[in-house]
């Protein structure tokens, strides 16, 4: 039996992934009068705010000073937090609350390993803050996803090694990070895009204790 579960947040626990890109779209319209191509959503999924902004600027062929860059990154976060104000328990993805409850009954320790700096606020709004044993501060890890740092830190914060854990993600960058950390990767979403994962489920309703235990035993 594995001992720890390392969760991404956006698109795994709650339906907040779309809100990130919605905030980036609003920022691009406000500052650059530009419409972001939809394919950028996948490229910005799972990575840090700064890395996401750089992806967007590269796409628009825009160069900013470090001061301007910092200002826009902060502005995006303010837009995103305004969207989060409306977040409730109804935004927990289907099956996740039951899955977490199953893990807790088996004394599996839970860590949040999200690139989002708003993780604590989001879990509070979802009523899940007390379910997690630890939340990794993404600002405290040297390298963001697809580097494995945040998943290694998450396991260590549970006093575990990554090999004793499963990691749950919905992004290519996140799966790459889990695999590099040594944890067992479980992807939620498109099998073609997330083929590097050890196990793929189509959606969160397919996550349950039996499924993830079987994966770890293999």
Among 32, 57, 84, the domain boundary falls at 84
Phi and psi (nearest 5°) for 47? -105, 170
Range of the domain at 56: 17-84
The answer on 61 and 11 residing in a single domain is no
What is the DSSP track for 31-62? HH--PPPTTHHHHHTTS-HHHHHHHHHHHHT-
Among 84, 109, 127, the domain boundary falls at 84
Assess whether 8 carries a catalytic annotation: yes
Number of domains observed in the structure of the chain: 2
Non-local CB neighbours of 192 within 8 Å, separated by 6+ positions: none
218 pLDDT band (50/70/90 cuts)? low
- Encode pLDDT of 10-60 as tens digits: 999 998 878 889 999 999 999 999 999 988 998 998 888 999 999 999 999
Nearest by Cα to 53 from 27, 30, 29, 78 = 27
The answer on 157 and 76 residing in a single domain is no
Among 84, 105, 126, the domain boundary falls at 84
Active site residue: 10, 85, 190, 203, which one? 10
> What pLDDT was estimated at residue 185?
98
pLDDT value at 5 more than 70: yes
pTM: 0.85
The answer on 101 and 54 residing in a single domain is no
Q: Locate tokens 């035993």: which residue? A: 217
Look over the chain and give the mean of its residue pLDDT values, rounded to a whole number.
94
């Amino acid at each position: 039996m594995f001992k720890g579960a390392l969760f991404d947040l956006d698109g795994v626990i709650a339906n907040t992934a779309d809100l990130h890109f919605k905030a980036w779209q609003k920022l691009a319209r406000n500052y650059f009068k530009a419409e972001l191509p939809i394919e950028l959503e996948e490229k910005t999924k799972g990575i840090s705010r700064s890395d996401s902004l750089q992806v967007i600027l590269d796409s628009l062929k825009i160069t900013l000073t470090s001061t301007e860059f910092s200002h826009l990154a902060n502005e995006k976060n303010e837009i995103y937090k305004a969207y989060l104000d409306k977040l409730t328990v109804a935004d927990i993805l289907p099956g996740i609350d039951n899955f977490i409850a199953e893990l807790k009954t088996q004394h599996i320790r839970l860590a949040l390993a999200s690139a989002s700096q708003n993780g604590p606020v989001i879990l509070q709004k979802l009523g899940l803050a007390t379910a997690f044993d630890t939340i990794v501060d993404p600002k405290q890890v040297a390298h963001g996803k697809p580097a494995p740092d945040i998943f290694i830190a998450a396991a260590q914060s549970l006093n575990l090694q990554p090999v004793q854990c499963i990691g749950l993600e919905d992004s290519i960058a996140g799966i790459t990070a889990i695999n590099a950390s040594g944890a067992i990767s479980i992807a939620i979403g498109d099998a073609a895009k997330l083929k590097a994962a050890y196990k793929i489920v189509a959606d969160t309703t397919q996550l349950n204790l039996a499924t993830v235990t079987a994966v770890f035993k293999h």
